[in-house]
Amino acid sequence: DWIMGDYITEAVQKIRAQVGDEEVILGLSGGVDSSVAAALIHRAIGDQLTCVFVDHGLLRLNEGDMVMDMFVGKLHAKVIRVDASELFLGKLAGVSDPEAKRKIIGSEFVTVFKQEAAKLTGAGAKGAQWLAQGTIYPDVIESGGAKSKKAVTIKSHHNVGGLPEQLGLKLLEPLRDLFKDEVRELGVALGLPHEMVYRHPFPGPGLGVRILGEVKKEYADLLRRADAIFIEELRNFKDEATGKSWYDLTSQAFTVFLPVKSVGVMGDGRTYDYVVALRAVQTSDFMTADWAELPYALLKKVSSRIINEVRGINRVTYDVSSKPPATIEWE
């Protein structure tokens, strides 16, 4: 719209003035903030921006391809896709503690990103001088002070603090003054699909914390397929009263892989396969959350589709725990 159009013009001018003819690197995760930052910076400086997309193998079904289709196919941005799934799975082998998994995923992520960044900054040629990040206003406040008062870390959210200094790069943060809803509006105005910009949050460690205990490729593949069915049906099912989809009526919804087997029956045979849990919550701040009262018809459809379409899963459960005392994620 008109106001957002003015905002974009101004932001673009500001980025051009800051960056001049220098080069910028940005870590693209597929999440809302880094995507909108990438689209805005690309609008401003085109090919002076290189996005680095580290695929840790713990993304959702087809997510990596969708990111590439969007940024390379539609926006014609420069994106380096690093397929590091084997590296990550290797490092995670035998590790089952949730915080240990987070630390490994976070530190490998930084290592891989730094290696790619070094290729773009070093080697004599005039390399990148800027690191762009999708920091938004609530992140700025959060890292401002209250942090030290927190007595216990329940879950360590990996963020890449200190990276620009380590890489010797200047920091470009064009979304620093914006709240989440403004970032979303900006994304839509820049031409990003509504569906991408209004997605539920997805944790940095991805499916790594949605597979309980040790992460294995087999588990990740089963989980991806089950979760895609759940999300598809949430988008399909509309609430009659509001006309909204159950995806839009929930704040976060996903599938959790439980590495236990239970007995089932299929046709004439007995099955002994894995279990998944569906999780859907409603919340305004993610500090507390209620489990969502999804319609039985929706749960029924999801359950029968997962069990019929994903060989290897024979039981689907629904998580009816609120936060607190449970957390939103299972790890």
Q: Cβ of residue 157: shortest distance to ligand XMP, in angstroms? A: 4
Q: Considering the complex, state which of residue 252 and residue 314 has its C-beta at the smaller distance from ligand XMP.
A: 252
Q: Could you tell me the smallest distance in angstroms from the CB atom of residue 327 to ligand XMP? A: 3
The residue among 43 and 199 lying less far from ligand XMP, judged by its C-beta, is 199
Smallest distance from ligand XMP to CB 91, Å: 16
Whole-angstrom distance, CA of residue 116 vs CA of residue 167: 11
> Residue 252 CB, nearest distance to ligand XMP (Å)?
5
105 Cα distance to chain centroid? 13
Beta-strand pair 128-132/290-291: unpaired
Q: Which two tokens stand for residue 35?
A: 């995507």
Euclidean distance between CA atoms 37 and 309, whole angstroms:
37
**Where does residue 308 rank: exposed (0-12), middle (13-18), buried (19+ CB within 10 A)?**
exposed
- Give 77 or 183: the residue with its C-beta nearer to ligand XMP: 183
Note the residues at the interface with ligand XMP (CB under 6 A).
102, 155, 157-158, 201, 203-205, 209, 252, 286, 323, 327-329
Q: How far apart are CA 13 and CA 310, in angstroms?
A: 50
37/307 with CB nearer ligand XMP? 37
- List residues bridging with 263 in a β-sheet: 272
The distance of closest approach from Cβ of residue 286 to ligand XMP in the complex, given in angstroms and rounded to an integer, is 4
Which amino acid appears at position 36 of this protein?
V
> Residue 220 CB: number of other CB atoms within 10 A?
21
Is residue 269 exposed (0-12), middle (13-18) or buried (19+ Cβ within 10 Å)? Answer: exposed
- In Å, what is the CA distance from 279 to each residue of 40, 188, 231, 254, 290? 33, 28, 11, 5, 11
Q: Which is nearer to ligand XMP, 319 or 329 (CB)?
A: 329
Minimum distance between the CB of residue 98 and ligand XMP, rounded to whole angstroms? 9
132 CB neighbour count, 10 Å cutoff:
30
- Angle (CA) 267 223 95, round 5°: 125
Q: Which is nearer to ligand XMP, 111 or 321 (CB)?
A: 321
Taking the least distance from each CB to ligand XMP, the nearer of 22 and 248 is 248
Q: At closest approach, how far in Å is the CB of 330 from ligand XMP?
A: 8
